[in-house]
């Protein structure tokens, strides 16, 4: 069973997309040299996150736009898959806070729009996606993609687990003051669903907004395999299918009783 090696890039947001792409190129080369198959960058990592609605709208692009083409070229140059965040154009309103995964051959594997918007910062800049994340398969691994606040909702990760996800990739820009997400919620989501969760956070600041770092990968028993501090770093972690087999021997998923939970989905 083939392992999958992830690189989580904890970094600050660059002031321009050109500089962000240059830094992504250098980091992709470094991650690949350390054996990584897939690099995860933070939420809105190519454009900046706390930059205001007008700036977000000006930088928004379609999923196959120039930013996607530039990332595809980087992925092909270094032979590594890349998960990255960007603002996706929305003809019907504010842009979507989106993340996309591009394969080492430049193919677009998955595009996802953040469905749970956090606070005024998100709501004034973005429209919420209206479709649950769909799992996708790459290199024999079933993978899911969520963005930041999404992972704090048990239903979002459970939905991917029920699709057979082995790992959930989470580009994020979680701020200081919310460390319970990394310390408690991410490990819980991994444990309760019998999968890996890779949470790649931003660090540093954009104006008054300060990001909390503490990126991590939690295994299917909820154990942190690797954790970052507050500053820029690159975590490289190998995921193992054999670990999933062992951890899932006592999974709660086969014992679910969905009919009992259905009323919960009807409550607003």
Q: Which candidate in 61, 88, 114, 152 is catalytic? A: 114
Query: What is the model's pLDDT at position 190?
Result: 98
- In the chain (268 residues long), the average pLDDT of successive 10-residue segments reads 92 97 98 98 97 97 98 98 98 97 98 97 97 97 98 97 98 97 98 98 96 98 97 98 95 93 82
Domains of the chain: 4-265 (3.60.110.10)
| 192 tagged catalytic | no
Query: What is the model's pLDDT at position 53?
Result: 97
pTM strictly above 0.85: yes
Query: What is the model's pLDDT at position 167?
Result: 98
| 114 tagged catalytic | yes
Q: Which candidate in 61, 88, 148, 152 is catalytic? A: 148
Query: What is the model's pLDDT at position 1?
Result: 56
| 267 tagged catalytic | no
Residue with tokens 């086969």: 254
Query: Mind listing the pLDDT tens digit for each residue in 110-125?
Result: 999 999 999 999 999 9
């Amino acid at each position: 069973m083939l392992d999958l090696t992830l690189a989580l890039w904890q970094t600050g947001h660059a002031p321009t997309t050109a500089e962000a792409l240059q830094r992504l190129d250098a980091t992709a080369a470094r991650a690949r040299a350390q054996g990584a198959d897939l690099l995860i960058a933070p939420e809105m990592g190519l454009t900046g996150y706390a930059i205001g609605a007008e700036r977000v709208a000006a930088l928004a692009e379609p999923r196959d736009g120039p930013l996607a083409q530039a990332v595809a070229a980087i992925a092909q140059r270094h032979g590594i898959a890349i998960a990255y965040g960007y603002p996706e154009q929305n003809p019907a309103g504010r842009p979507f806070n989106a993340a996309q995964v591009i394969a080492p051959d430049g193919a677009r594997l998955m595009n996802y729009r953040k469905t749970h918007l956090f606070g005024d910062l998100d709501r004034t800049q973005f429209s919420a996606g209206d479709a649950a994340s769909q799992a996708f398969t790459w290199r024999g691994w079933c993978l899911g993609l969520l963005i930041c606040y999404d992972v704090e909702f048990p239903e979002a990760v459970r939905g991917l687990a029920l699709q057979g996800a082995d790992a959930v990739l989470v580009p994020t820009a979680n701020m200081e003051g919310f460390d319970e997400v990394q310390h408690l919620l991410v490990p819980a989501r991994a444990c309760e669903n019998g999968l890996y969760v890779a949470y790649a956070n931003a660090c540093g600041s954009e104006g008054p907004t300060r990001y909390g770092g503490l990126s991590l990968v939690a295994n299917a028993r909820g154990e942190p395999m690797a954790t970052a501090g507050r500053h820029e770093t690159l975590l490289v972690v190998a995921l193992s299918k054999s670990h999933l087999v062992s951890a899932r021997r006592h999974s709660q998923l086969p014992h679910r009783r969905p009919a009992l939970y259905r009323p919960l989905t009807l409550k607003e």
